[in-house]
Every structure is written in structure tokens, then in C-alpha cells.
Structure 1
Amino acid sequence: MANDFVWFELVTPDAKAAGDFYKAVIGWGSDMSSGPAGPYTIFKAGEIPVGGMLEMQGVPPGWLGYVGVDDVDAFAGKVQAAGGTIHKAAQDIPGVGRFSVVADPQGAVFVLFRGSLETAPPRPAPMSPGSLGWSELHAADWEKAFDFYAPLFGWVRHDAVPMGEMGVYQTFGPPKAAIGGMFSNHAPAPGPYWLYYFGVDGVDSAVERVKANGGEILMGPVEVPGGAFVVNAKDPQGAVFAFLGMRG
């Protein structure tokens, strides 16, 4: 899936505690692997790997999204030429692929990735428990952000949803379907960032699981077009994430 989000990675100071939290809340299973920076947890929706987790000290906890591209080095060059930043130059993960950690001109961080497999691995059904449901950019200025991402990944505007005083919520994606939304968040802390929504089996019970396992509900449940409900939350280590599903 070129120019779409293909993987999600949690950087956290306590992988054991964070892993227990997300298994309880989202319902993921997990396997252990190893990466360039040490032990690596792989989160799975059923039998399908969907994301990973890396323990790192001294780094703000958070989720990173990997966008699949056909040439990591070339795309990193495009990011830099368009005013973005390269935080980690392109490097190989033996047997897995090549990646580079970059940021858009407003500071939101994401990862460029090309896997070593010729065919894309399977993905969970949309909206199924544990799948990625939506990718959302909290920008300083969404229109300038869109002007950065659109030529980079070929994304187009889909629906524009008015949000009153908060302005417009602009959905985006490849021409065939929206994969996310962006808006101007005038109080982004600590700065512009990407937020990722994971599918859950019942939003209300997931809210209770967040609370019971030491997390915090930041917003929601809020109904969105299509009848699903979304919740923004924070895990016990401080990483912000979101989930979506039906009520009940």
C-alpha cells in the first residue's frame, strides 16, 4: 500500500506495562522480536501484525505512523526540499525493510518505510477490532499541511466537515477513499502531531477498560459520520491514542 499508513509503532518507557494496557484495551495479541534498538514487541489483530512497540528512555512516549513508499531515500529528500526535517536518515532493518524518521514543516513526526517483501502483507478488515481505523493530523495550519502532504503522497481532499468555532475538518486520502482527517488544532500540546485510531469491539466497554487499566479518557465517545463513535485517550505512560467502534 504505497503512500498509505502501513505500520504503527509505540515508543514507551515501559514496554511491559504498556503492552498489558493495549492488550486489555484494544484486544491485541503480541509476539516478541528484535530490532536495531533492542527487543521489539509486535502487536497482532488476530494473526495479522499491525504495529510494534519499542522501549526507550528519555523520549516522550507516543505513537508513530509508517507511510509506505517505493523509495525511502528519494521521499526523505522530497520532505526536506518541501521544508520538512529528517530526524533519522534512511537506514536498513535487516530482513524487514528501510526507513527514515521525518517531520512535516510544522513539526508532526512520521516514518517513511519500504518493506523488503515484494507483496504487501495482509491487513485486518476495516473497522475490525485491532485494525487501524483512521489517521488524524493535529496541525498548526491544516491547509499549509495539506499543501505539503498532497504532492508528497498524492493525497486529495475528500469531505470537508464544518466544526463550528474549531473550523473545518478536512478528510484526505488517495483518490479512491479517505484514510484520515486533518484540522487546525490551536492548542496542540506539545506541538502538531499525528493521532491514530484503532478499531475496538464496543466503544463503551473499551472506555471502561481504559479507566480500569490506568489510562485516561480525553474526549468522547463522539459520534462521527457513518454511525461509529470515537474516543481520544492517554495510556498510563502518557502516549495519546484513539479508538473507534460502535456503542454497546
Structure 2
Amino acid sequence: MTTTPNGNPCWYELTSYNPDAAQAFYAAVLGWKVTNAGMEGADYRLAAAGDDMVAGIWVPEAQGMPPFWMVYFTTGNCDTAIEAVTKAGGKVHMEPNDVPGTGRFAVVQDPQGAVFGLLQPLDSKGNAFDQKKTGHGNWHELMTTDPKEAFAFYSELFGWKAGTSMDMGAMGRYDIFSHQGTDIGGMMRLAPDMPGPGTPFWLPYFGIESIDAAAKRVTASGGKVVSGPQDVPGGAFIVVASDPQGSIFALVGPR
């Protein structure tokens, strides 16, 4: 099995009941090339940015699950990881399963209620997360009811380290976390008026070449710009958006 360290962001997966519309939207906004994965009995599509596979789009068998983006993180042992999740007060939504040629995965929930994926990959060279490439995962925000407890959970599970903590005024603090010396995301308290499902969730950011051009593509393709463009430390700008089916995601890049 892989020697990839625990806690690498490694895959982004969209639940959608209209995969054709989702495919067209993200192809227009992010330039992804989407193909059918050819999975028997399931509609699962693979999105590529350049030569790299970066995301999946799938139709769930069980109706009623809301459309949403889920982030997967690597683990050296999927079965051991879900034991750690449940021991810490989390839940298992999908028990470990093997995907031929990919690895072993599971879907879990942290103690505050945010859903995320675990992947024990066969190949440690996945490039879905790359902060230097457009169309790839770039940043990850956890909106949660208890940032302190959430960080303790993920730090124990993945070995993430606490980084800069910024005062956001009425919104509380924004706590950046790092993995293997690189800042990969932030955690903040979930606000009642925050866009999203209204419960704790992971918000993936995708890198783009121009925040203004990308925002125009969002609205021109039937989506909505929920907030932004807003400047962030480091000289970049961000936009939080929703696709035509209501899934929340974010974009980051220069203006």
C-alpha cells in the first residue's frame, strides 16, 4: 500500500442529481475535462485539470442526500482511521470499500458533524491538490460549531499543525492549519447566516487564473456568486459561489 502521509488533501467529490448539468458547469468555470469512469451500476465521472485527475461527480443511490462537495484526505490505513474517528466521537457514513486501481476509502463525520472522506491510496502520486495549478484544489475551510475541538480531532487523526490565528471581528477567529510545513486550510466558527447547509461542512477552494473572469463564468453558466471577490493575505482574491444545483464551493486566484 501507499506510503503517503496521513492528512494530505487528495480528492474532491461532488454529489449531484444532475451530473450532465454539473459536468457542463464545472467544465465552463474551471476548464475541467469530464469523462465517465465506466463503473458498473453507477454514474461516476472523472474531472481532469490538464493531465491531472482532480475530482469526481457522482449520483448517489439513496435519494435525499443534498448536493454537496466532499474533500478526501489520505490515510495509511483506512480501517484503523475509522476506528479512531468513532473513538473520538465521530460517525461512519460508509464503511471501508476497495476501488480497483485506486485504493480503499470510507466516508465519515467528525464530532461536530462535518462529513469528509478517507482514502488509503494505492498510488501516492495523486495531484488533485496543487496550490500552483489552476483547476486544482487549493485551500480547504472547515465551518464548524467548535473550532478548538475540531482542530484537536483532526490534529490527532492527521497530524495537522496549528498556524496563524486571525481575529475576524464579529465572525470570531480564523485558525490556519498546516500539513508537512504547508498551510492547507483554515477553520472558523459556523455562523447562522453563513452560506451552506447550515451545519458544519468542509468548503473546498479551487485555484483559477483570474478571479473576476471566473466569477463571470459562474453567473454566465447558471451559478451564483455568494460573496466576493474579497482580498486575502498573500495577494490573492476569493469568491464563494454555488453551482446551479446549490452546491457551495470557492475559488481563489489573482485579480
Q: Could you state the TM-score of these two structures normalised by the residue count of structure 2?
A: 0.92
**1:130–1:200 Cα contact (<8 Å) kept:** yes
Question: CA offsets per residue over residues 141-166 of structure 1, 9 Å max, x none?
Answer: 11111111111100111111110111
The aligned residue for residue 150 of structure 1 is 155
Q: 1:51 aligns with which of 48, 55, 64?
A: 55
Q: Give the AA of the match of 2:250.
A: A
The 5 Å alignment of 1:224-235 reads: 224-235=232-243
The aligned residue for residue 191 of structure 1 is 199
Task: Work out the percentage of aligned pairs sharing the same amino acid.
Answer: 40
Question: CA offsets per residue over residues 27-64 of structure 1, 9 Å max, x none?
Answer: 11122213366121111110110111102343200011
**2:11–2:128 Cα contact (<8 Å) kept:** no
Q: Give the AA of the match of 1:45.
A: A
Offset at residue 21 of structure 1 (A) = 0.3
Question: CA offsets per residue over residues 192-220 of structure 1, 9 Å max, x none?
Answer: 00000001121001111111111011111
The aligned residue for residue 84 of structure 1 is 90
Q: Does 1:244 align with 2:252?
A: yes
Unaligned runs of 5+ in 2: none
Offset at residue 98 of structure 1 (A) = 0.7
RMSD over aligned CA atoms reads 1.5
Unaligned runs of 5+ in 1: none
C-alpha separation between the residues in 1 aligned to 2:126 and 2:219? Answer: 33
Q: 1:12 aligns with which of 7, 10, 16?
A: 16
C-alpha separation between the residues in 2 aligned to 1:92 and 1:217? Answer: 37
Judging changes above 3 Å, is the alpha-carbon distance between structure 1 residues 149 and 135 closer, same or farther for their aligned structure 2 residues?
A: same
Q: Does 1:95 align with 2:101?
A: yes
Q: Give the AA of the match of 2:74.
A: G
The aligned residue for residue 164 of structure 1 is 169
Q: Give the AA of the match of 1:76.
A: I
C-alpha separation between the residues in 2 aligned to 1:35 and 1:96? Answer: 13
C-alpha separation between the residues in 2 aligned to 1:201 and 1:221? Answer: 14
**1:31–1:43 Cα contact (<8 Å) kept:** yes
C-alpha separation between the residues in 2 aligned to 1:127 and 1:91? Answer: 32
Q: Give the AA of the match of 2:83.
A: G
Judging changes above 3 Å, is the alpha-carbon distance between structure 1 residues 167 and 204 closer, same or farther for their aligned structure 2 residues?
A: same
Offset at residue 104 of structure 1 (A) = 0.3
The aligned residue for residue 176 of structure 1 is 181
C-alpha separation between the residues in 2 aligned to 1:124 and 1:76? Answer: 23
